[in-house]
Amino acid sequence: MEKGFYITTAIAYINSPPHIGFAYEVIGADIMARFQKMRGKNVFFLTGSDEHSFNVYKKAQEAGLTPHEYCDKMVERYKRTWELLGINYDRFIRTSSEEHKKVVYKLMDKLLQTNFVYRGKYSGWYCISCEGFYREKELKNGLCPIHSKKPEWVEEENYFFALSRFEDFLKKHIKDHPEFIQPEERKNEVLGILNSGLQDISISRRGKNWGIPFPGKAEEIVYVWVDALINYISAPDWERVS
């Protein structure tokens, strides 16, 4: 049987309304999806919204809404914009949907049963706008390289995923399967990251107000970047993975 063609945009970070950058990406994906359909492929075209960020929580509070109410309103704006542009996606995934949450919870629960997850202490420069940590050498004059804002020094105990243990496996896989990442320049970009060394990543955050609860740790949620990333699996295939 011929394999289907799966195309996805990055899911939108909905703490601000849709802008031309999102439109550019979604139109590009739409063109590719239509082209592959014309070639007779079974196409699945995904887009959606990344909702469990602290910035969304903050925006909702400023607007006097619950995060859910805020997201509902923003999602409508996004969907309306894509409709006006004639975007013909197959699914709009929301990371606050029950289906997605179920898959993320289950995956975290499975991970916990492996020896790839451990408790550790994270300390680093945290940029609230990025919702991410930076190493000292990654800052520009002590400021976030993207937002030019001063990050906070944060220390927290949370769960870590042993990403560093996959470094050799990933290098070998890319070498043995040259078609795995295309075009060549992107492959080289990924190899460059792998060659500079992978670090373990923290996958949970303290706080339970807005996010997906971490299995067995009521006071922690799944780190938003991990939660969001899983949409690319949960959306096309949630019945099989949930």
Q: Under the rule (CB under 5 A), what is the footprint of Zn ion?
A: 127, 129-130, 144, 146-147
CB of 128 to Zn ion, least distance (A): 8
Furthest CA-CA distance within the chain: 55
* Closest CB 122 distance from Zn ion, rounded Å: 17
Residues 6+ positions from 173 with CB-CB distance below 8 Å: 180
CA distance 109 to 56: 26
- Residue in the structure block whose two tokens are 């031309």: 20
At residue 34, the 3 state secondary structure works out as helix
- Between residues 45 and 126, which has the closer beta carbon with respect to Zn ion? 126
Phi and psi for 7 in degrees, rounded to 5? -130, 140
Axis-axis angle for helices 231-241, 98-112 (nearest 10): 80
Nearer to Zn ion, 130 or 181 (CB): 130
89 within 8 A of 45, measured Cβ to Cβ: yes
| Nearer of residues 149 and 173 to Zn ion, judged by Cβ | 149
Least CB distance to Zn ion at residue 221 (A): 20
Asked whether 18 and 75 are in contact (CB, 8 A), the reply is: no
- Closer by beta carbon to Zn ion, 109 or else 138: 138
Q: Give the nearer residue to Zn ion in terms of CB position, either 126 or 159.
A: 126
Q: How many CB atoms lie under 10 A from the CB of residue 131?
A: 17
SS3 148: coil
Least CB distance to Zn ion at residue 149 (A): 6
Helix 184-195 and helix 167-176: axis angle, to 10°? 160
Which residue, 55 or 242, is less far from Zn ion as judged by CB? Answer: 55
**CB 127, min distance to Zn ion, A:** 3
Handedness of CA 104, 105, 106, 107 (dihedral sign): positive
CB of 147 to Zn ion, least distance (A): 4
